[in-house]
Structures are given as structure tokens and as C-alpha cells.
Structure 1
Amino acid sequence: MGSKLRRIGIMTGGGDCPGLNAVIRAVAKAAISGGLEVVGIEDGYLGLIENRLRVLSYLDVSGILTRGGTILGSSNKANPGEYAMPDGKGGWEIRDVRDQVLEHCSEAALDALVVIGGDGTMSGAADLVERGLNIVGVPKTID
């Protein structure tokens, strides 16, 4: 028997497009109505890497349908498998920070993520699923 969901995260990745706030609102309101706590992840994978999370309430997602963009922010620059970080010598190095992302999800007690994004975002989600994270993908594109 599977464990019961108690807390989910939601994030938007990639470029901006119409409808992102509608998805955030629908997921959050349905989840909250079902007794779940919803955590918004700011700026896509960057928010997971930097641990920038905030609990979303009905009030947070009310009145956002007519607002453009995404209330959570989005980024297409942060790939947890190939993340550019300062090397301490004035340059940059590429690091795999997927374990750090999983640790942040665990610390936040997230039972699952709802990931809204395109090809790159979904590829990153697939990598995290292979590492044991529960993810529902909501596809979107600006192409």
C-alpha cells in the first residue's frame, strides 16, 4: 500500500507562456481542497537548488488568472545535472547538484512535485524520477 500524500511542491520551468498561473491555481486549489499542503518553488529548478520554497494558500492563488507570467517565476538556466557554480578562483565549474535537490525536497517533506515545463524541464524531471522523486509533469511549450 502506498503512502498518503500530505505535501506537494509545484514549479514552473523554462520560458514564459500563457496559462502558467491557471495551472498553478488549479493544482493548488484542488490540492488544498483535498487536504494537502502546497509549496511553491520559486524560479523553477533554481528554486530547488537554492531551496527557495514558500507555502501557497488559497489567497496566494486567488485572482492570478488574469496576471501574465507565473507567480512562482521561471528559469531555463538551471539544470540540476549540469549546474554552473563559481569555482572559487574567479571562474565557473559545472557540478551535478541533483542530490542537493533531492535533499531539499526531503527537508521540505515534499511527497511529490508538479513540474510545469517544456523539454528541458521534463528531462530534468525524468532524472529526478529515476532517483526516486514522485513527479507529475505538465507539458508546455513556447515553440
Structure 2
Amino acid sequence: MKRIAIMNVGGDCPGLNSAIRALVRKSAIEDIDVLGVYDGFKGFIEDRVFVMTKEHVSGILERGGTILGSSKFDPTKKPEDLAKVKENFEKYQITAFIILSGHTGTEIAIKLSDEGMPSIIIPATIDNDLPWTEFSIGFFTALETITKTLDALHSTASAGHRVIVVEVGGDEAGWLATLGGLTGGADYILIPEIKFNPDKLIENIKKRYDEGKKFSIVVVQEKCKLSERLKIIQENIPEGTPSDIISKFIKENIKDVECRNVNLGYMQRGGTPVSFDRLIATMLSTKAIDYIKKGKVNIALGLKGFEISTTPFSQELLKNKDIDSRIYEMTKIFF
């Protein structure tokens, strides 16, 4: 009898419950035992493990978050934690871990595979920055949140003739900022992959005001790279986010402009998963069980169009997937 242990490692994202539901339902058909693990590897070494049945996943398809909780805890950092993982892996007679995660869980999975504990990675991160898959679970819901927020902000920005600087997530990649800004009608988009001239930003806003469009929406990715001029401002507000710094720069360089900040923060991780996140979560999870049945492990599953791909574990999985420069160039049509 094969047995899997399901866990969420790293940040949460919409669609995780859809994936868990599919894993449990498919495993029941294939006669594979399923253990649910609360709070990632932290829960695993603390024996917070239980047998999952179809009853546990009834009615969770549309729910955001994850019924299993999540944690960034890395059990490979301390020998005693790693030893406990090995002990419990044998105690619970686990065939393989099923890890829903981004880079955090992938790095842990690769290390554990070297210790004889195999796993399968299902890509789950709002950042969409994993190099082996076109899209990851959670990205489309986070993108929808950004788009709807920008839609809502347009009316208040226009009414008050304001500049609104919106900070979005994405870690080291500009996928959310670029696609969210494009679909939400942003007037300028700043991302880590593209070096920007702050003077161009000021020129863009002033030009819009001169043309009678007396408002602007500026989307700033949380880790966009700041120029030396902006770093000087950062020295005066060391706890300030990139959006804080850019907002202050705008105020200093455009007289009498009303500039406001909006940081979407954890809103991007929450909410009901959109249909496409539910779909790819189901596709990836059912395929994972097929591979467990075949004995194929130590792989990362990905989406290539509507086909599920497999990539063997290697350090290449830990690279960052930058935004497609062609997409960013397209956004400049609207700057």
C-alpha cells in the first residue's frame, strides 16, 4: 500500500484547498493512503499528522487559504529536526511527500531527497516565479485581486485628481505587477527586472495632467530596484516600502499633487480562488497521484499549456523566472 503525506510549505495562496481536495479524492480511487500534515514540516516533526478521507475535503473547493495551514519552517537547518523528519517518515511508512509550495518547499524537498525521503512538488505561489512551469496555483486569483483593486481606485483617483501608488507582491519577479498593471489600466509599472529612470515617471505624470488626465495609477512591485536618487530618500525613511519612497519622490517633484499609497499585502493571498486556479490545482494534483502510483518521484510538476510536465529535482528548480520582457514592453503602449 502506497501512502502520501500532503503539506503546504511557504506562503499560502488561493487554490490550495482545491489541490488538497483533488489529491484526497484521486487517492481514494487509486487505493492510496493519505496523511494530512498541519503547518508544513513544523507540524510533521511535532506529529500533527492525521489520516485524510473524502469527508475531510467535502465542501472546500471554493475556500481560500488551506485547511492544513502552512509554514516556512525548514527542518534541514538543524540536525535534530532532520533526524525527526527521518524518524517520522519511517514511522508513518510514507511513500513520498506531496509538497504544495514555491521555492521554499522546493529547496527543502531537494535536500530531503538526498536523505532518501522522496517527494513531488506541486507549484503553488502567487508570485508565478517558478522556472519549470508557465503558471502556478494562486497566481490568477492574486492577479484578479490586483485588477479589481485598480479598477476601484480609478474612480477615486480621477475624482480627487490624485496620484495613487499601489504596491503589489511578486518577490523577485514582476509577473503580478506587470500583468495586474496591464489588465487594471496602470499608468506606470515598476518591477525588479527593468531598471527605471525616476525622471521618466515624473514626466509621465505631468504629461497626463497637461493632457487633462489629472490622475495617475502607479503600480510598484514590492522589490523593484531603486535608483541612487531614490535610495537617498530611503535613508530618511528606512522602514519605508518602495511605494512609500516613490510616493515621497512624486510629492517632492510635482507641486501641489495629492499622492496616496495603497499596499495590497495579504489581500493578494486571500479570497476565493478563481476558476482557473481551481482547474490547474485539480489537474496538477490528480497527475501527482498518477505518478505516485507509477513510483515516479523527486519531480516538480508544471503546466505547459494544458499539458502537465515533469522536471527532475536539481538546483535549476531554484532559479527565478523573470517576467517575459515582451509583455512588459507591451505595457509601455499605455505609459
TM-score (norm 2): 0.37
Task: Give the secondary structure class of the aligned counterpart of 1:73.
Answer: coil
CA distance in 2, matches of 1:131, 1:81: 10
Task: Give the secondary structure class of the aligned counterpart of 1:114.
Answer: strand
CA distance in 2, matches of 1:40, 1:46: 13
1:52 maps to 2:48: yes
CA distance in 1, matches of 2:86, 2:6: 15
1 or 2, which has the higher strand percentage? 1
1:135 maps to 2:131: no
1:27 maps to 2:23: yes
Aligned to 1:79: 74
Aligned to 2:90: 106
CA distance in 2, matches of 1:63, 1:49: 29
2:30 alignment partner AA: G
1:99 Cα deviation from its structure 2 partner: 2.0
Q: Which runs of 4+ in 1 moved over 4 A?
A: none
2:3 alignment partner AA: R
1:89-128 equivalent positions in 2, closer than 5 A: 95-96=78-79, 97-128=81-112
Of 13, 20, 30 in structure 1, the residue corresponding to residue 9 of structure 2 is 13
CA distance in 2, matches of 1:25, 1:129: 25
Task: Give percent identity, aligned residues only.
Answer: 40
Q: Residues 5-56 of structure 1, C-alpha deviation per residue, up to 9 Å, x if partnerless?
A: 5211110111111110011111111111111110001101111121210110
Of 35, 41, 48 in structure 1, the residue corresponding to residue 37 of structure 2 is 41
2:89 alignment partner AA: C
Tell me if structure 1 keeps the 8 A contact 2:8–2:68.
Answer: yes
Structure ranking higher on relative contact order (CA contacts 8 Å, 6+ apart): 1
Q: Residues 117-140 of structure 1, C-alpha deviation per residue, up to 9 Å, x if partnerless?
A: 110111001111111112111112
Tell me if structure 1 keeps the 8 A contact 2:109–2:118.
Answer: no
Query: Which residues of structure 1 form unaligned runs of 5+?
Result: 83-94
Task: Give the secondary structure class of the aligned counterpart of 1:8.
Answer: strand
2:15 alignment partner AA: G
Task: Give the secondary structure class of the aligned counterpart of 2:85.
Answer: helix
TM-score (norm 1): 0.83
Task: Give the secondary structure class of the aligned counterpart of 1:136.
Answer: strand
1:10 alignment partner AA: I
Q: Residues 71-124 of structure 1, C-alpha deviation per residue, up to 9 Å, x if partnerless?
A: 111012x11122xxxxxxxxxxxx232121011111011111111111011100
Task: Give the secondary structure class of the aligned counterpart of 1:40.
Answer: strand
CA distance in 1, matches of 2:86, 2:25: 25
Task: Give the secondary structure class of the aligned counterpart of 1:109.
Answer: coil
CA distance in 2, matches of 1:15, 1:120: 9
- Computed over aligned residues only, the root mean square deviation of the Cα atoms, in angstroms, reads 1.1
